[in-house]
């Protein structure tokens, strides 16, 4: 990810002078470094658990840094002045990681191992698997703080980490595409159908996990 290529200056010309733009670029670099720190921790856990259990606890991992436009829009929605200091102080999701797991219990195992690491500080956790959103959305969202080590200092930075199963990610991706189409007729009916699909997907996750547990139990008995 090339931070300097992605963060064009045009969006800031009415807000920042050249000194502020440089500070913004530095801040985005800090977020990218923090994101890579957390990603590396998750990759290491994935490799270790794959060796111990002969299967990977997560299928894929995606990283992103919010665009300048998204950062500006979020601050405006919150009624907060658009400054570099406010970006760092008020927003927790500038750096984001999405971890796609095979089974629900893999999610909780990874979270447990991650937040137990002595250089990770858990800021917040929102469990939308145990407590789904009204529309049926399921996921676990963490805000964690991790130190990054620079040439002359150590700086704590925050990263949002989302955990979903493959099935939850499938639903969330399609729900986003469908709900953000304009001029949807019978939108209440569509919402009800999407919620019903979310319930089916949750049941599918539970059933697949039961099957996996039964297979692993039989393997242990044979050994």
pLDDT digits (tens, 9 = 90+) for 85-99: 999 999 999 999 999
| Residue showing tokens 């620079």 | 150
Burial class of residue 75 (count of CB atoms within 10 Å of its CB; 0-12, 13-18, 19+): middle
pLDDT digits (tens, 9 = 90+) for 169-213: 999 998 887 776 556 666 778 888 999 999 999 999 999 999 999
Q: Where are the domains of the chain?
A: 3-167
Pairing of strands 58-65, 95-101: antiparallel
| Residue showing tokens 């984001």 | 96
Mean pLDDT, range 8-19, rounded to an integer = 63
Q: What is the Cα–Cα distance from 46 to 151, expressed in whole angstroms?
A: 29
For residues 46 and 58, the answer to whether their CB atoms sit within 8 Å is yes
Mean pLDDT, range 18-35, rounded to an integer = 91
Q: What is the Cα–Cα distance from 95 to 156, expressed in whole angstroms?
A: 13
For residues 197 and 184, the answer to whether their CB atoms sit within 8 Å is no
Q: Would you say domain 3-167 falls under CATH 3.30.460.10?
A: yes
């Amino acid at each position: 990810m090339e931070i300097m290529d992605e963060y064009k200056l045009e969006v800031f010309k009415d807000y920042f002078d050249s000194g502020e733009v440089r500070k913004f670029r530095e801040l985005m670099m800090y977020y990218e470094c923090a994101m890579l720190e957390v990603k590396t921790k998750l990759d290491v856990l994935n490799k270790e658990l794959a060796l111990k259990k002969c299967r990977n606890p997560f299928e894929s991992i995606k990283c992103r840094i919010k665009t300048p436009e998204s950062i500006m829009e979020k601050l405006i929605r919150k009624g907060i002045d658009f400054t570099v200091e406010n970006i760092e102080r008020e927003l927790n999701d500038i750096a984001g990681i999405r971890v796609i797991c095979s089974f629900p219990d893999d999610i909780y195992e990874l979270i447990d191992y991650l937040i137990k690491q002595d250089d990770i500080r858990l800021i917040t956790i929102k469990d939308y698997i145990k407590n789904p959103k009204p529309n049926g959305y399921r996921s676990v969202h963490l805000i964690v703080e991790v130190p990054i080590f620079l040439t002359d200092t150590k700086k704590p930075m925050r990263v949002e980490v989302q955990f979903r199963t493959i099935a939850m990610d499938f639903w969330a991706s399609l729900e986003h595409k469908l709900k953000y189409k304009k001029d949807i007729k019978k939108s209440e009916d569509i919402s009800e159908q999407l919620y019903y699909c979310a319930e089916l997907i949750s049941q599918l996750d539970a059933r697949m996990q039961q099957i996996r547990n039964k297979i692993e139990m039989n393997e242990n008995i044979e050994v």
